[in-house]
Structure 1
Amino acid sequence: MDDRRLPPPQLSRRQFLARSALTGASVAVATAQRGVSAAPPSPRPNFLFLLTDDQRWDMAGCAGNALIRTPNMDALAREGVRFANAFVTTSICAASRASVLTGLHERTHQFTFGTPPLRDELVDLSYPKLLRDAGYRTGFVGKFGIGVEQGATARMFDSFKPLNRTPYFKRQPDGSERHETDLDGDAAVDFLRGCKPDQPFCLSVSFNAPHAEDADPKQYFWPKAFDDLYTDVRMPVPKTADPAFFERQPDFLKKSMNRERWRWRFETPEKAQEMTKGYYRMVTGVDAVIGRLRDELVRLGVADNTVILLLGDNGYFLGERGFAGKWLMYEYSIRVPLLVYDPRVPQRQRGVVPQQMVLNLDVPETMLELAGVPVPATMRGRSLVPLLRGETPNWRTDFFYEHLFENKTIPKTEGVRTERWAYLRYFEQVPVYEELYDVVNDFDEEHNLAGDPAQRTVLNALRKRCDELRDRYGGPFVPRAKQ
């Protein structure tokens, strides 16, 4: 278990954040104590950070999916590092993206849908702000999804171009229509072409795809170039899509938003086939833009010094458990793709697949260390640099998960995922509803062992661990608006 940098339990959240608002000098000292060199390599690497929306871990050929076409993601995995066990600490775009920005858990940064904006002191310790302060040209394209105070994006980004869906197809000045994913590519290329040879850059491209268009019955919209893709493919039916499995779940889950959206997308076998194919086409559309951006890096002569990172903001149900959407602490909802391609690493470190548990929180620390920028003591992830180098450091053996969005149809969750066990509790249910799964032997989490006397010791240990991490990251849940 990795407790080395958890805030001490006697500090309140506000005390911790106040003490963590470090000056540049104190950040450098804190970073040196953590073993991260403050001296940047020469030349400093560029970064192309790709964030997809609702792409779960197995939606890429390199992850073992034989049906989906993702040649450019597969190339990144083949030429770089693919993390087989990557997770998010909150499975919803708003909170997860704030966690990626700040390196903090939701309970600490306190941002999700319906909350006040992300606090300025956290914006000032975000990866784009720190990279910009260190001389990087920073850019953002696509779905931002984080509420911030006025002026915050200008402090983080030299170039900020938000692009959203609704609708995915945008009317152009010449009367044509273009898909939002392709427009992300256009804006990203424009940013890259505006960079100077003597200044490193960090471009964050945040795709809206493959997120569904929730308000439209069709749900999934893909670039027209992929209209004929997957038409002759029979999509697999999830193991736990059996109605008998759904009926075994508690009533509050059977009445949740996950079930409501299942009706939108997977209620009949025919609808499930068509919707899943649409989702696949959207992933392939993103993949095509990734190839376009890599070609542009080569054309500009900067490919050999540009680190590319790809992360999903959360996982996704495609009918598993009788659900759609995400939010809940099950494997299909919390597992995400994470690829890192660093063209500077030796050939022996390419195409490797580390098995350590890594998190969305680890991405900002990784970019900062690769850039030689001090990592704030506030951040709660771990830099992936040792794993990218092929080292075998002491690593985390568990992590804390939470979902705190105020919505009557999405039950709040907190729990702990270890290398073998998943413990989760719906803490607002009366009584608290607990689940325990042996994910090594029961990956689809079909058998809840919370009531099994043989697992009482495991259950009690994970209850205690969940309390410990909950308290260290902020304490029992209190809605931010009521504080």
Structure 2
Amino acid sequence: MCRFRLRRFFIVKWLSRCNAWHLAVLLTTLPLSVSGSERPNILFLLTDNQPWHALGAAPNPVIYTPNMDRLAHQGVRFTNAFVTTPICAASRASIFTGLYERQHGFTFLTPPLQSQFSKISYPMLLKASGYRTGFIGKFGIESNGKILIEEEENTLAAMFDHFDNFEHWGHSGPDGYFVNQPDGTQKHLTDITGDKALEFLRQHHDQHPDQPFCLSISFNAPHAQDNDPRQYIWPPGVDHLYHDATVPVPELANPKYFATLPGFLQTSEGRVRWSKRFTSPQNFQRMMKGMYRMVSGVDVAIGRMLDELQRLDVADDTVVIFMSDNGMFFGEWGLSDCWLLYEDSIRVPMIIADPRQPQQGITADEIVLNIDVSPTIIELAGLDVPPLVQGRSLIPIVEGKSPTWRTEFLCEHLLHMPQLQIPKSEGVRTERWKYIRYFEQQPPHEQLFDLVSDPLEKQNLADDTKHTDQLQLLRQRCDELLVKVRETTGK
């Protein structure tokens, strides 16, 4: 077993090779308090639109995910993991930076992510401190296939030693999930992602054996191929799965719940996507089995990576973090896709497997967020978390400690895309209550749910006079959190 240690002479040597831009980043962001600290490898695995329940360990008795379950058995599975903004562009910016959307300001069709936020991202800090950093898959901080980061070339060079961005929309990758190969065959994008991950691990092992790595793998799956009538397109290797299975229909798929939605949600883009996927029981089974196969395909790729870590004899020195960029509706409320602040959309799977920890195979019930990923990785690397970061490191929880922890968080969705009817919203989610405000509606439309007595959020209590005080309390708290996240620190 090897341990990587950062020595101050390494920093000095690295400084001598820096250009001015890199040096400016280092001097403003890198703490020099990590000398002598143990530094594990870090493998961060991100899926796209995987709901919290699409995981065998969730538990889900239908889906087949032995390798994701293997991570859960080897680490900590977080049962209350959420994203602060349920859309991939904003959520991924939050994952990299540890910031709320209202702080980093990025989603689809906005100006580029500002350099001041890229400079506190976990890849840039780790690369500056001596890690070999890699990214493979869907970067996601882009619009219409164009990466949107200020000073793109310099920024990406300062973030990653190896950067391989590709997605399935035909811009920075293939148009669809299958990629033509030189021999005339086709290979699924998930399998290609696995191949490229193994290539990075092997090359690193052969060429940089004394340097820790931080490899971020961002799967395109199980995101639907919206422009293909099949929607969910899986690797051939999992084609045999689920033929005899029946995926349970969620209670909230009953049309009576759609009828309770306000008109602007009934006619929203979520209903348009639903009409492509879930209009009949047969379509529901076909789509869900397709999504499950895509998740199982990712699971196969993850298994290949875990086995390779074992083969290279670095598994005991590698912390693996797994999560999804947001949840999704699969017929609940008569809707599909993400965007809204219901539990289906903001709740995600999350696992941290640290082989150095004695406690394994446990669950943690604390409220954890996508903005916690960056400070967690930064602390794993032995670095100080920048004051601007609004998330919190999850290391104390992984270590089995009982830190004073958050009991609420702000959630928000601010996408402005006129061609799609997706209402903006903001709210606060506590351990018991959920408050949502669609602030551009006239008058603003509000929702209030008691998550203890109504975990499926079936009954909106906003107009119930018995809950007027609670409604006013959460209105005020939402306003306070909106002010707080715009400050220089959200802690």
TM-score, normalized by length of structure 1?
0.90
Match of 1:343 in 2: 355
* Contact preservation (8 Å) 1:102, 1:123: yes
Structural mapping, 1:20-419, within 5 Å: 24=27, 28=31, 38-39=34-35, 41-42=37-38, 44-146=39-141, 147-149=148-150, 150-151=152-153, 152-165=155-168, 166-195=175-204, 196-346=208-358, 349-408=359-418, 409-419=421-431
* Contact preservation (8 Å) 1:27, 1:377: no
Q: Distance in 2 between matches of 1:25 and 1:473?
A: 22
Residue 472 of structure 1, CA deviation = 2.0
The partner residue of 1:466 within 456, 463, 478 is 478
Q: Distance in 1 between matches of 2:26 and 2:131?
A: 19
- Find the residue that maps to 2:57 and give its secondary structure: helix
Does the C-alpha gap of structure 1 residues 287 and 26 become closer, same or farther in structure 2, counting only changes over 3 Å? Answer: closer
Match of 1:34 in 2: none
* Contact preservation (8 Å) 1:294, 1:303: yes
* Contact preservation (8 Å) 1:163, 1:184: no
* Contact preservation (8 Å) 2:123, 2:133: yes
Residue 24 of structure 1, CA deviation = 4.0
Which amino acid counterpart does residue 142 of structure 1 have in structure 2?
Answer: G
Q: Distance in 2 between matches of 1:410 and 1:380?
A: 26
Which deviates the most, 272-281 or 223-232? 223-232
Match of 1:454 in 2: 466
* Contact preservation (8 Å) 2:30, 2:383: no
Q: Distance in 1 between matches of 2:139 and 2:29?
A: 30
Residue 289 of structure 1, CA deviation = 0.4
Residue 28 of structure 1, CA deviation = 3.6
Q: Distance in 1 between matches of 2:372 and 2:351?
A: 12
* Contact preservation (8 Å) 1:40, 1:373: no
* Contact preservation (8 Å) 2:25, 2:119: no
Q: Distance in 2 between matches of 1:453 and 1:38?
A: 55
CA deviation digits over 1:442-483, x for unaligned, max 9? 1111000111111111111110110011122239xxxxxxxx
Q: Distance in 1 between matches of 2:462 and 2:285?
A: 34
Does the C-alpha gap of structure 1 residues 185 and 23 become closer, same or farther in structure 2, counting only changes over 3 Å? Answer: closer
* Contact preservation (8 Å) 1:119, 1:148: yes
Stretches of structure 1 lacking an aligned partner (at least 5 in a row): 1-20, 30-36, 476-483
Residue 27 of structure 1, CA deviation = 6.2
Match of 1:13 in 2: none
Q: Distance in 1 between matches of 2:29 and 2:91?
A: 27
Residue 49 of structure 1, CA deviation = 0.2
Which amino acid counterpart does residue 148 of structure 1 have in structure 2?
Answer: I
- Find the residue that maps to 2:364 and give its secondary structure: coil
- Find the residue that maps to 2:291 and give its secondary structure: helix
Match of 2:16 in 1: none
Residue 41 of structure 1, CA deviation = 2.6
CA deviation digits over 1:186-207, x for unaligned, max 9? 1111111121110000000000
Q: Distance in 1 between matches of 2:29 and 2:57?
A: 42
Residue 398 of structure 1, CA deviation = 0.1
The partner residue of 2:453 within 441, 445, 460 is 441
- Find the residue that maps to 2:135 and give its secondary structure: strand
Match of 2:4 in 1: none
What is the alpha-carbon root mean square deviation over aligned residues?
Answer: 1.5
TM-score, normalized by length of structure 2?
0.89
Q: Distance in 1 between matches of 2:36 and 2:338?
A: 39
Does the C-alpha gap of structure 1 residues 131 and 457 become closer, same or farther in structure 2, counting only changes over 3 Å? Answer: same
Which amino acid counterpart does residue 399 of structure 2 have in structure 1?
Answer: R
Q: Distance in 2 between matches of 1:289 and 1:460?
A: 48
Does the C-alpha gap of structure 1 residues 23 and 187 become closer, same or farther in structure 2, counting only changes over 3 Å? Answer: closer
Stretches of structure 2 lacking an aligned partner (at least 5 in a row): 1-23, 142-147, 169-174
Residue 295 of structure 1, CA deviation = 0.7
Q: Distance in 2 between matches of 1:162 and 1:22?
A: 23
Residue 373 of structure 1, CA deviation = 1.2
Residue 301 of structure 1, CA deviation = 1.3
- Find the residue that maps to 1:83 and give its secondary structure: strand
